[in-house]
Amino acid sequence: MTNQMKPISCKISGNGNLMVTRYVIAVLLFLSASSKIIVAQQETAPGKYRIEFTDKNNSPFSTDRPEEFLSDRAIQRRIRQAIPIDMLDIPVNPSYIDSIKQTGVELLTVSKWFNAVTVACDDSSVLEKISNFSFVKRTVFNGYGTLTANNKHNSNIVAIDEDSYYDYGYSARQINIHKGEKLHNMGYTGKNIHIAVIDAGFYNVDALEAFINIWQDGRILGARDFVNRQSNIFQEHTHGKTVLSIIGGFIPGYLIGSAPDASFWLLRSEDVNSEYIIEEDNWIAAAEFADSAGVDIINTSLGYSVFDNTAQNHSYNDMDGNTARISIAADIAASKGILVVVSAGNEGNDVWKYITAPADADSVLAVGAIDSLGLIAPFSSRGPSSDGRIKPDVCAMGVKTITQGTFGTISSASGTSVSAPIITGLSACLWQANPDAKVMDIQKAIKKSADRFNTPDTIYGYGIPDFHMANLLLRMGREGLNEPNSISVFPNPFSSEIYILYNELYGSDINVSIYDLAGRKLSDYTFKTAEETGLINVSKELAHLSKGIYIITIVSEGIKYNSRIVKL
């Protein structure tokens, strides 16, 4: 249920600044070219064709007037993250589209990022006529892959260790394993964060109990079907319903989503009845719509590697982030300031075994699946990307994950399809808590909070994120811990939890000593540091302290830090 192509890729650097690769530079040059190009088109599915255009010349749109093609929310997202409006944002030239439609073909999708359309047509003479248009460019591309599984299992109740604002019921563990309840308890529940769920259908979402709150609050922002404009997406496949319930579901005592107060666009791109690269175009159109509507996060629990037409199949070499068209588009979405969260794939037990597109994209969060004990699910797709990058990026609970059942029951499902939406929702809560953060700040904090950040691998990636820690990292970062060899203690005063945050203490030990106000040493500990900015939880070591004021001394490679700390 996917496809690919080669040219464009937007990469985002770790510090949140955009780094446009040579592929995007080539596309921008290509869009401004005025020379006549060779023409052709290729079938994307039976009777359906993709047509790319040579340029965006003589367009009625301008980057100086973005309000004509982007919502105010989309413009504000770019302003907030210092992202310029560029030629990729300019819509396809309307005169080109009109000329294509006048031939009698059915227009299916339009892509401004790829300057292309897809059409339905069974008349070869009409296609030949289109090929002779001076503004039509030769297009060559490959293929997509398979929908991640949604297998049903029984569930069991797991309690959360501390008092929580919500009664999570059966869904407790999938939140607790990431310390998500700590964000919820602080009031960070995804409010005012807009999420686009790009999926296969949202069967009964307009009727099921888990979604009543979303409808009543007006948080279903709209729905679009990029497969069949005449369909009712609430009568299509159940997969999107399952995904949405994990993010936004709300049935106290049974199921609480990872972002129960977020707002949603429901977008259908996947046709479960077949597997052709037309679904690439559907996904791109959905992602472009989401961008223009101003969404903050895209969740796509879809993955592609194999097609009904085997000539379109991806190879592992294609999993380099710059080949599969959907992966290129996912990176472009990230370059526009959107956090793109993707299922890693369910191929771990198969001959293929690797991640599927768009999980290979360099600027997305690809999510593998673990069980409730934190052990990798055998089906979870493995990395690395074919060019050697860490994939998956992180993992979430994808075995017996609690969902809203199709006909009103509480159910459970397994697959990276259901692990990705957990990360999506908690990322929404994290962004609500840190509204000034850029998209790559959010990504970086999530990865750095994960339990394998210092020793990532091709199975767990950076591991299981701790969203409470990610929040602390973002907050401390905003308070200026950006200088080399700096140390800070947070929060202060503290009651139960306290952390040491350090920057660039490469490979050294940190020695922590606690003194009372009379200068008597009460305790002494040594911790290993990582090779990058890190966070050490010293709560356990300081738990024995009575309420009062103490002196903490932190020493590492000649750097000495002293501060008063207050235990409440």
For 479-567, the fitting CATH number among 3.40.605.10, 3.40.50.970, 2.60.40.2550, 3.40.50.300 is: 2.60.40.2550
Mean local confidence (pLDDT), 59-68: 95
For the ranges 2-6, 19-23, 75-79, 216-220, the lowest mean pLDDT is seen at 2-6
For the ranges 38-52, 115-129, 371-385, the lowest mean pLDDT is seen at 38-52
Strand pairing class (42-45; 10-12): unpaired
* Contact predicate 211/197, CB 8 Å: no
Q: Is the pLDDT of residue 92 over 70?
A: yes
In sequence order, which residues have a C-beta less than 8 Å from that of residue 63 and are 6 or more positions away?
84, 85, 86, 87, 89, 90
376-389 residue pLDDT tens: 999 999 999 999 99
For 151-432+439-477, the fitting CATH number among 3.40.50.2020, 3.40.50.720, 3.40.50.200, 3.40.50.300 is: 3.40.50.200
- 349-355 — which CB contacts under 8 Å span 24+ positions? 349/378, 349/379, 352/305, 352/306, 352/316, 353/381, 353/382, 354/305, 354/316, 354/319, 354/381, 354/382, 354/383, 355/303, 355/319, 355/381, 355/382, 355/383, 355/385, 355/391, 355/392
Q: Which pLDDT score, from 0 to 100, does residue 335 have?
A: 97
Q: Where are the domains of the chain?
A: 151-432+439-477, 479-567
Q: Is the pLDDT of residue 19 over 60?
A: no
Q: Which pLDDT score, from 0 to 100, does residue 290 have?
A: 98
> To 10 degrees, what angle do helices 278-293 and 325-335 make?
10
> Quick one: pLDDT band at residue 405, thresholds 50, 70, 90?
very high
Question: For residue 321, how many other CB atoms are within 10 A of its CB?
Answer: 26
More confident residue, 173 or 16: 173
* Contact predicate 420/396, CB 8 Å: yes
Mean local confidence (pLDDT), 334-358: 95
Whether pTM exceeds 0.95:
no
For the ranges 162-166, 167-171, 504-508, the lowest mean pLDDT is seen at 504-508
Q: Which pLDDT score, from 0 to 100, does residue 436 have?
A: 93
475-495 residue pLDDT tens: 776 544 445 556 778 788 888
Q: What is the distance between the alpha carbons of residues 328 and 147, in angstroms, rounded to a whole number? A: 19
Q: Is the pLDDT of residue 229 over 50?
A: yes
More confident residue, 4 or 479: 479
For the ranges 357-366, 414-423, 467-476, 558-567, the lowest mean pLDDT is seen at 558-567
Q: Coil, helix or strand for 326? A: helix
Q: Which pLDDT score, from 0 to 100, does residue 384 have?
A: 97
Q: What is the distance between the alpha carbons of residues 390 and 359, in angstroms, rounded to a whole number? A: 11
Q: What is the distance between the alpha carbons of residues 30 and 42, in angstroms, rounded to a whole number? A: 20
What average pLDDT does the chain have? 84
* Element holding 215 (H helix, E strand): helix 212-216
Q: Which pLDDT score, from 0 to 100, does residue 160 have?
A: 41
352-372 residue pLDDT tens: 999 999 999 999 999 999 999
More confident residue, 486 or 251: 251
Query: Cis bond leading into 392, ω under 30°?
Result: yes
**pLDDT > 90 fraction of the chain, expressed in percent and rounded:** 61
Mean local confidence (pLDDT), 229-244: 94
> Quick one: pLDDT band at residue 42, thresholds 50, 70, 90?
low
**pLDDT > 70 fraction of the chain, expressed in percent and rounded:** 83
